[in-house]
Chain A
Amino acid sequence: MEKIKKTNIIWDKKDLLGLEELSAGEIELILKTAISFKEISERSIKKVPALRGKTIAHLFLEPSTRTRISFELAAKRLSADTIGISGSGSSILKGETMRDTAQNIEAMKVDMIILRHSASGSAHILAKNLKAGVINAGDGCHEHPTQALLDMFTIKEKLGAIKGKKVSIIGDIKHSRVARSNIIGLCKLGAEVTVCAPKTLMPIEIEKMGCKRTYSLEEAMRSADVINVLRLQKERQKKGLLPTIREYIEEYGVTLQKVEKFCKKNIVIMHPGPINRGIEMSQDVADSDKAVILEQVTNGIAIRMAVMFLLSQYKQK
C-alpha cells in the first residue's frame, strides 16, 4: 500500500481559467487529487458530501454534450446543487449580456460558475467581475483546461508518466482550444509535443509555445507514444482553409492502415470527442483497442470533481 505523501502545493486560486495560469506543481496537484475522485464513480452510491450546500451554475452558451454532462455529474457526485443555463431559452436571447446574466446568477448566491462561451477570454472577464469561482469549460479558440487535464490524466494512467513522453496532436490546431491547453499543460510537465496540421490550419509561430511542428502525418505518428486526434471543426471551415474535406481525409485522416504502418505497437490514441467518424479518424481506429476515447470521458468526471473540490477550498484573504 502507498506511503504517506506530503504535498506542499497549496491551491490558492479562485478560478480555473486556463493552464497558462497554473504552475507545473498546481497541474500535478489536480491530477493527483483526481486519482482519489475516480473511485467514487465506481461505487454503488456515487456521491460524497464534500460540496454539500454549495450551488454550481452551468452557463453553457455554446453547444456541448460531453463537457456539460460531465461537469453536471461531477457537481452532483460531490453533493452540490446544480442549475443549467443555456443560451437559447434564457434572457441572453433578449439581449442581456453574459456579464449581467452571470452577476444576476451570483446575486442568487451561487458559489461557482462553469462557463462555456464562443468568445476567447470570456471566462477571464467573468472571473474578474465575480466573487464566485469560475471554471472555464472552453472559451472560443483560447483554452479548454479541464479537457487537457483529463487528457494528461489519461496519458499518465496509460504510460505511468508524462515527462519525456512524445505526444503528437493532429488536426485543426489553429481553431482548437483543446490543442492549446494540451500544448501548454504537456510542455509544463515535460512532455515532447509535436503538432501536425495542414499549413492553413497551423498557427504561425506555434513553436513559441514550446512544441515542434510538422506537416506530415507520417512524421507525427512515427515516434509518438500518444497521438491526440482533434475533431475537424466543420463549422469553422467555411473560410475556405481546406480545398476539400476529401483531401483532408486523404492527407490527415488517421486510419488503421496508417496506424499499423507508422505507429509504435503500444501507441495510445486519443480524441476529445465528438468524433467525425471517417474524417479525422476512421471507424476501425476509433473502435480499436488502442483508442482510449471512452476512458478519457470517464476520467473527465474525476478531473472535474477534483477541480471543483480544490476551488471550493479557496479561502478569500
Chain B
Amino acid sequence: MEKKQEILDKEQMKRALTRIAHEILEKNKDENLLCLVGIKYRGMYLANRLAKEIKTITGKDPQLGALDITLYRDDLTQVAEQPVVHATEIDFDINGKIVILVDDVLFTGRTVRCAIDELIDFGRPKNIQLAVLVDRGHRELPIRPDFVGKNVPTALSEKVDVLVKEADGEDRVYKIES
C-alpha cells in the first residue's frame, strides 16, 4: 500500500521560495555577480521562480541557466533504465560569478556532485552555493546545502515527490511510503 503524506502545499512552497530568495540576497551582498543554475528538470523550474522572487526584491533579473547532469553520472553503466540526455543551457560566462545551484530534493548528494563537476567545465565561478526545496538526508558524499526550503526526515525506503505547476500541473510536495 502506498501512503502519501503532504509536506508542503502551494502556499507553503511559495513562502519557502520567497524566504530562500531573501536568504540568498542576505548572504551575497553583490547581486550583480549572482546567477542561478537549475538542475533539470524540476530544479530548473524552481530556479526560474527564485529568479522572479529575486527580481521583485532587487528589480534586476539574475542570470539563469540549466544543467543536465546525465553525462556526468557515476552510475551510467549501472542504471537499469536508459538515461535520456537533455541539453545544458548556460549561455553566459560563469567566471568570477556566484552560482546558486538549485535542485528540488537533496538526497545522496551525487546529483550535486555531477552538477558541480559540470559547472566547473564551464569556468571558474567565485563560489558555488546550493539551494534545495527539500533536504531529505541520507548523504553519501560530503555535501551540504546553503539554503533549504524544508528539512524532511525520511527512511531510505520512502520517496519524496516534488510537483511543480510547469511540469505536473500543481505545486505540492509529498512523502511517499511504499
Contact = CB atoms under 8 A, between A and B. Distances in A.
Interface of A: 1-4, 7, 10-11, 33, 35-39, 43-45, 47-50, 78, 306, 309, 312-313
A44 B71 contact: no
B155 interface: no
B123 interface: yes
B92 to A, nearest CB: 13
Choose among A7, A33, A48 the residue with the greatest number of B CB atoms under 10 Å from its CB.
A48
Contacts of B156: none
Contacts of A47: 121
19 contacts: A1-B44, A1-B48, A4-B167, A10-B82, A35-B87, A36-B88, A37-B85, A39-B89, A43-B121, A43-B122, A44-B123, A45-B121, A47-B121, A48-B71, A48-B72, A49-B72, A49-B117, A50-B76, A313-B82
B1 interface: no
Contacts of A39: 87-89
B96 interface: no
Contact of A36 (B41, B86, B166, B167): B86
Contacts of B135: none
A8 to B, nearest CB: 10
A49 B84 contact: no
B66 interface: yes
A309 B83 CA distance: 10
B103 interface: no
Interface in B72-130: 72, 76-77, 82-89, 117-118, 121-123
Interface string B128-171: 00000000000000000000000000000000000000110000
Nearest to A29: B84
A36 B87 contact: yes
Contacts of B166: 3
Interface of B: 41, 44, 48, 66, 68, 70-72, 76-77, 82-89, 117-118, 121-123, 166-167
Contacts, number: 51
Contacts of A49: 71-72, 117
A10 B81 CA distance: 9
Contacts of B82: 10-11, 313
Contacts of A4: 41, 167
B65 to A, nearest CB: 10
Nearest to B114: A49
Nearest to B73: A50
A9 to B, nearest CB: 9
Contact of B122 (A35, A37, A45): A45
Contacts of A37: 85
Contacts of A10: 82
Contacts of A35: 87
Nearest to B85: A36
A80 to B, nearest CB: 12
Given A10-B82, A44-B122, A1 B72 contact: no
The 5 A-B pairs with the shortest beta carbon distances in the complex, nearest first, are A50-B71, A48-B71, A36-B87, A45-B121, A36-B85
A281 B18 CA distance: 61
Contacts of A78: 71
B52 to A, nearest CB: 13
A222 to B, nearest CB: 37
A47 B85 CA distance: 15
A48 B70 CA distance: 10
